[in-house]
Amino acid sequence: MDHFFSRDITLLTGPDKAQLLKDELGIHTYEDLLKHYPFRYEDRNNQSTVAALTPTTPGVQLQGYIKSLQKIDKGKKRLVALFEDNTGQLELIWFHNFSWIIKKIKPNVCYRVWGKPVFLPNGQKQLIHPEVVFYVENQEQKNSLVPLYHSTEKLKRNHLDTKGIAYFQKKLLSQLNTVIEETLPDYLLARYQLISLKGALHNIHFPSDPAALKQAQRRLKFEELFYLQLKLFKVRGVRVEKQTGKVFNNVSLLHTFYHNHLPFHLTNGQKEAIREIYRDLSSGKQMNRLLQGDVGSGKTIVAFLAMLVVIASKAQVAIMAPTEILAKQHLERFHIFAQQLNLNIALLTGSTKKKEREHVLYRLKVGLLHIIVGTHALLSDEVVFHELGFFIIDEQHRFGVAQRAGLLTKNQVYAPHILIMTATPIPRTLAMTFYGDLDLSTIYELPAGRQPIKTHHYYENARLKVFQFVREQLLLGRQVYIVYPLIEASAALDYSNLMAGYESVSRAFPNVPIGIIHGKMDSAAKDMEMKRFEKNETHILVTTTVIEVGVNVPNATIMLIESAERFGLSQLHQLRGRVGRGSAQSYCILMTDYRLNKAGKERMETMVKTNNGFEIAELDLKLRGPGDLMGLQQSGVLNLKIADLSKDTATLEVARKLAKHIIQQDPPLQHPANLPICKEYARLLAAAGEWNKIG
């Protein structure tokens, strides 16, 4: 089907320019060009004077007279005009295409000129290649907001600078009126007071005034976010109706534990999270909830208290961790609690020995086990529950809908409740976008009395000082993590990198017991090393990011991160969260190369400046963009042209609710009123062909 949007740009620009636009800006179709929105607008109503110009003045508009015109043939051929307003004079200069200017310009006529001022060393001011507009008093100046488009050097050399692009936009827009169909139904335009697509496209490129521009932006952002949400709901599925779930409302065990065994006072955030979870468990609908809270915010105890509600009704609970180390730590912490309540708990991982495994599986199946802790091994078919009531997934916020659906088969009678926990705080906008089908609980605060971790950034020249500091902490009886980055391209290189690090650490701290954990070790060996560190048998642990999530050694007070520039912000923050778990002051030391790019520098500064995971997540979103943050970089899912997930929160919220509602009411999009949505959705699918990659 020939759709105006999908026409090849060649039809508009001719083959040479089309090729350039394709190569340089990825503009292949009419739609690509129309959605190559201006990045900024020059406000030409904003008039200045010659005297007021400074070297930092951006594009400026002046009003005055041209006193003289001089064609200079010597050296670089140019046309120089002397321009004067009632505050001073400056030169207007053209280097080419000036014969028409000579014809056009007359003395004693008032002109508006527009351009970017240049200051010569002698103080002389110039405008190079200004635009000159014949000025008539009181005539309303149309298009006072002039669009500026991103372009490239190569494009600029070929007349596709911002003006050249504007020219083609105009040409395209003039054809628009007859051919373009509205992409949102009338009832939505009316309900949200949105302007038409045609109007929006005209005004986004050539706004008649700032208010019209706002309207255009609002409409286009809404549309973009609406279709993004619609696609995500379509592809990932929306719980049209929340599934019925088993009612768990027996709080007897929870009360017993709360009043007799709870080792500390809960924070308000923890209490609220437990209330929200309890509300779900007792609601009769299946829970699908994401619990997010910064490292150390105390999600584990929240999970445990919630488990007790389920266990009190004789159903079983599973908790799955991403690594064996973490699973074991959970087991140990829960084991202490479980003993106090006479509950049976066991561990199941990929390396659980056959005999032990059979024993665990048997007890699970007949209902002797109340709690099972494990890794992905828990998902395997041989794991059969007597009655699985509650499945908790720790530190895996990317556990998707399909994977969750797999869990449901673990109980043939009813859908178990699901809680996903993450210490990777996700900005609210992203959470809404990607976990639209999850309810969200957030713990914002940390337990009281924690000393904030002090973070410092050093270059290699401070190495001696840093090592001296490490030595002092070791003398105080503290322990230290030293982390090396993973270089993904080569596992072997990684390993040698880490080994070289290990050797230099050994040389620097000759009498200190040092452990090492890396990806090539089998889990028994990793485990042993972790144990040794936990028991304070080793004082330094050299490692890769294996220890990233969840590990808890309160006596460790230094997190030294080598080549810190190679880590993302969220990852650095995760690593930092490994210290600061005891009462002593903890430190995070970031070592980097001298050559830091701007983003790298910004990451280090952010880490030094703030300990707040939510702030860091928001910044990470701004620095890296949502695609990268969510591991969706390549998928094109987040190829947003105008909306900004880190800013347009309110619009996103409205668009999301609407998309969900529409999919719920009219899943195949066949209601006559939704015809425009149906058409546009089909068009976007065909145009992108990318959507099947997610989910």
State the minimum distance, in angstroms, from the CB of residue 306 to Mg ion: 14
State the minimum distance, in angstroms, from the CB of residue 435 to Mg ion: 18
Q: Choose among ligand ADP, Mg ion, none what residue 329 binds, the Cβ cut-off being 5 to 8 Å by kind.
A: none
Q: Which residue's CB is nearer to Mg ion, number 292 or number 592?
A: 292
513-572 residues near Mg ion, rule: CB under 5 A: 550
Coil, helix or strand at residue 599 = helix
- Secondary structure string (H, E, C) spanning 370-400: CEEEECHHHHCCCCCCCCEEEEEEECCCCCC
Q: Choose among Mg ion, ligand ADP, none what residue 523 binds, the Cβ cut-off being 5 to 8 Å by kind.
A: none
To which H or E segment does residue 591 belong? Answer: strand 587-592
Choose the stretch contacting ligand ADP; rule: CB under 6 A; options: 239-247, 261-269, 633-641, 683-691.
261-269
What's the CA gap between 680 and 224, in Å, rounded?
11
Choose the stretch contacting ligand ADP; rule: CB under 6 A; options: 81-89, 123-131, 259-267, 669-677.
259-267
State the minimum distance, in angstroms, from the CB of residue 576 to ligand ADP: 12
**What's the Cα-to-Cα distance from 416 to each of 259, 287, 343, 347, 408, rounded to whole Å?**
28, 8, 20, 20, 6
Q: Judging by beta carbons within 10 Å of its beta carbon (0-12, 13-18, 19+), is residue 245 exposed, middle or buried?
A: buried
Indicate the residue type of 381.
D
Q: Print the binding letters for residues 548-567 with ligand ADP: x by CB under 6 A, - otherwise.
A: ----x---------------
Q: Which residue's CB is nearer to ligand ADP, number 265 or number 354?
A: 265
- What's phi and psi for 272, nearest 5 deg? -65, -40
Residue of 295, 466, 637, 652 interacting with ligand ADP (CB under 6 A): 295
Kind of pairing between the strands at 60-72 and 78-85 = antiparallel
What's the CA gap between 403 and 401, in Å, rounded?
5
What's the CA gap between 253 and 317, in Å, rounded?
14
Residue 439 zone, left/alpha/beta (φ > 0; ψ -120 to 50; rest): beta
User: Going by C-beta distance under 8 Å and a sequence separation of 6 or more, which residues neighbour residue 405?
Assistant: none
Widest Cα–Cα separation across the chain: 101
**What's the Cα-to-Cα distance from 497 to each of 232, 335, 484, 488, rounded to whole Å?**
41, 38, 8, 12
State the minimum distance, in angstroms, from the CB of residue 264 to ligand ADP: 4
Q: Which residue's CB is nearer to ligand ADP, number 423 or number 561?
A: 423
- Separation of first and last alpha carbons in the chain: 28
Using CB positions, name the residue nearest to Mg ion.
550
Q: Choose among Mg ion, ligand ADP, none what residue 375 binds, the Cβ cut-off being 5 to 8 Å by kind.
A: none
Q: Which residue's CB is nearer to Mg ion, number 112 or number 578?
A: 578
Residue of 61, 229, 286, 297 interacting with ligand ADP (CB under 6 A): 297
- Considering the rule CB under 6 A, would residue 300 count as an interface residue with ligand ADP? yes
Q: Which residue's CB is nearer to ligand ADP, number 272 or number 602?
A: 272
Q: Print the binding letters for residues 571-610 with ligand ADP: x by CB under 6 A, - otherwise.
A: ----------x-----------------------------
- Considering the rule CB under 6 A, would residue 262 count as an interface residue with ligand ADP? no
Q: Which residue's CB is nearer to ligand ADP, number 39 or number 264?
A: 264
User: Going by C-beta distance under 8 Å and a sequence separation of 6 or more, which residues neighbour residue 171?
Assistant: 12
What's the CA gap between 556 and 122, in Å, rounded?
62
Residue of 13, 203, 229, 267 interacting with ligand ADP (CB under 6 A): 267
What's the CA gap between 392 and 317, in Å, rounded?
8
Using CB positions, name the residue nearest to ligand ADP.
298
What is the layout of strands, in order, in the sheet containing 125-128? 117-119, 125-128, 88-94, 78-85, 60-72, 111-115, 131-134
* Number of residues counted as binding Mg ion (CB under 5 A): 1
Q: Which residue's CB is nearer to Mg ion, number 221 or number 289?
A: 289
Q: Choose among ligand ADP, Mg ion, none what residue 447 binds, the Cβ cut-off being 5 to 8 Å by kind.
A: ligand ADP
Residue of 95, 134, 264, 362 interacting with ligand ADP (CB under 6 A): 264
Give 189-195's long-range contacts (Cβ < 8 A, gap of 24+). Answer: 192/222, 192/654, 194/218, 194/219, 194/222, 194/223, 195/219
**C-alpha of 411 from chain center:** 35
Q: Choose among ligand ADP, Mg ion, none what residue 264 binds, the Cβ cut-off being 5 to 8 Å by kind.
A: ligand ADP
- Considering the rule CB under 6 A, would residue 301 count as an interface residue with ligand ADP? yes
Residue of 299, 357, 578, 603 interacting with ligand ADP (CB under 6 A): 299
Kind of pairing between the strands at 145-148 and 40-43 = antiparallel
DSSP 606-671: HHHH---HHHHHHHHHHHH-HHHHTT-GGG-TT--SS--TTT-HHHHHHHHHHHHHHHHH-TT--S
State the minimum distance, in angstroms, from the CB of residue 622 to ligand ADP: 24
Secondary structure tally for the chain: helices H, strands E: 25, 22
Choose the stretch contacting ligand ADP; rule: CB under 6 A; options: 12-20, 293-301, 510-518, 521-529.
293-301
What's the CA gap between 144 and 354, in Å, rounded?
77
State the minimum distance, in angstroms, from the CB of residue 333 to Mg ion: 10
- Considering the rule CB under 6 A, would residue 319 count as an interface residue with ligand ADP? no
- Considering the rule CB under 6 A, would residue 269 count as an interface residue with ligand ADP? no
- Considering the rule CB under 6 A, would residue 512 count as an interface residue with ligand ADP? no
State the minimum distance, in angstroms, from the CB of residue 636 to ligand ADP: 34
Q: Choose among Mg ion, ligand ADP, none what residue 389 binds, the Cβ cut-off being 5 to 8 Å by kind.
A: none
- Considering the rule CB under 6 A, would residue 423 count as an interface residue with ligand ADP? yes
State the minimum distance, in angstroms, from the CB of residue 202 to ligand ADP: 51
- Considering the rule CB under 6 A, would residue 266 count as an interface residue with ligand ADP? yes
* Number of residues counted as binding ligand ADP (CB under 6 A): 17
State the minimum distance, in angstroms, from the CB of residue 612 to ligand ADP: 14
Residue 287 zone, left/alpha/beta (φ > 0; ψ -120 to 50; rest): beta
State the minimum distance, in angstroms, from the CB of residue 41 to ligand ADP: 46
Q: Which tokens hold the place of 211?
A: 């208010």
**What's the Cα-to-Cα distance from 682 to each of 13, 56, 227, 230, 668, rounded to whole Å?**
27, 48, 11, 12, 11
Q: Which residue's CB is nearer to ligand ADP, number 104 or number 261?
A: 261
What's the CA gap between 459 and 356, in Å, rounded?
50
Choose the stretch contacting ligand ADP; rule: CB under 6 A; options: 240-248, 297-305, 466-474, 665-673.
297-305
Q: Which tokens hold the place of 64?
A: 């005055």
Choose the stretch contacting ligand ADP; rule: CB under 6 A; options: 296-304, 343-351, 585-593, 601-609.
296-304
Choose the stretch contacting ligand ADP; rule: CB under 6 A; options: 29-37, 176-184, 263-271, 680-688.
263-271
Q: Which residue's CB is nearer to Mg ion, number 225 or number 319?
A: 319
Q: Choose among ligand ADP, Mg ion, none what residue 234 binds, the Cβ cut-off being 5 to 8 Å by kind.
A: none
Specify whether the CB–CB gap between 214 and 41 falls below 8 A: no
DSSP H helices, 69-181, are: 99-104, 153-157, 162-179
Specify whether the CB–CB gap between 159 and 177 falls below 8 A: no
- Positions touching ligand ADP (CB under 6 A) are 264-267, 270, 293, 295-301, 423, 447, 552, 581
Interface contacts to Mg ion, rule CB under 5 A: 550
